[in-house]
C-alpha cells in the first residue's frame, strides 16, 4: 500500500512568491494533519482536518498560511506571500491522533 504522498519533495522559492504544498493521505484515513518542523521549534501542528473539515487551525502562524481539503484524497497547504522565516520541512500525516502516518515531507527554502 502506498503511504502518505507529498509533493514536491523540495521547493526553493524567492521571498514574496506563492508556495503550494500537496498531500495525498492514505486511503480510508479520516484525519489529515499538517506539521512544520524546524531545529529551533521542533515539530509543530499547523492544522488538522477530520472528514475533510478543518477542526483546529490554531497552529497556523498567520494569515499568509491557508490549507484546504477539497476531498478525502487531497489536501494543500499554501503560503502567500512566502518569507525566509517560513523555511522548514513541512509534513503531512494521516490517521488518528494516537496513530499517525507521516509523509516524507517537503523541504521548503525561501530566499
Partner 1 sequence: TQLLEQSPQFLSIQEGENLTVYCNSSSVFSSLQWYRQEPGEGPVLLVTVVTGGEVKKLKRLTFQFGDARKDSSLHITAAQPGDTGLYLCAGESRDDKIIFGKGTRLHILP
Q: Which positions touch partner 1 (CB under 8 A)?
A: 4, 33, 35, 41-45, 48, 55-56, 91, 93, 97-105
Of the pair 28, 42, the CB lying nearest partner 1 is at 42
- Cβ neighbours around 5 below 10 Å, total: 15
Residue 102 near residue 29, CB atoms below 8 Å: no
Nearer to partner 1, 12 or 55 (CB): 55
Question: Shortest gap between Cβ of 102 and partner 1 (angstroms)?
Answer: 3
> CB 15 → partner 1: shortest distance, Å?
25
User: Given the complex with partner 1, which of 38 and 80 has the nearer CB atom?
Assistant: 38
State the Cα angle at 22 between 51 and 67, rounded to 5°: 55
- Give the whole-angstrom CA distance, residue 21 versus residue 24: 11
For residue 45, the minimal CB distance to partner 1 (Å) is 5
Tell me how far apart the alpha carbons of residues 8 and 25 are, in angstroms, rounded to a whole number.
15
Minimum distance of partner 1 from residue 50's CB (angstroms):
10
Cis peptide preceding 57, ω within 30 of 0: no
Amino acid at each position: 500500500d502506498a503511504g502518505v504522498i507529498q509533493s514536491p519533495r523540495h521547493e526553493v522559492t524567492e521571498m514574496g512568491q506563492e508556495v503550494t504544498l500537496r498531500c495525498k493521505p492514505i486511503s480510508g484515513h479520516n484525519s489529515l494533519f499538517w506539521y512544520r518542523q524546524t531545529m529551533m521549534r521542533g515539530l509543530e501542528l499547523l492544522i488538522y482536518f477530520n472528514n475533510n473539515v478543518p477542526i483546529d487551525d490554531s497552529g497556523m502562524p498567520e494569515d499568509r498560511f491557508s490549507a484546504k481539503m477539497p476531498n478525502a484524497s487531497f489536501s494543500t497547504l499554501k503560503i502567500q506571500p512566502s518569507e525566509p522565516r517560513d523555511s522548514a520541512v513541512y509534513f503531512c500525516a494521516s490517521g488518528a491522533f494516537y496513530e499517525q502516518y507521516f509523509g516524507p515531507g517537503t523541504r521548503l527554502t525561501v530566499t
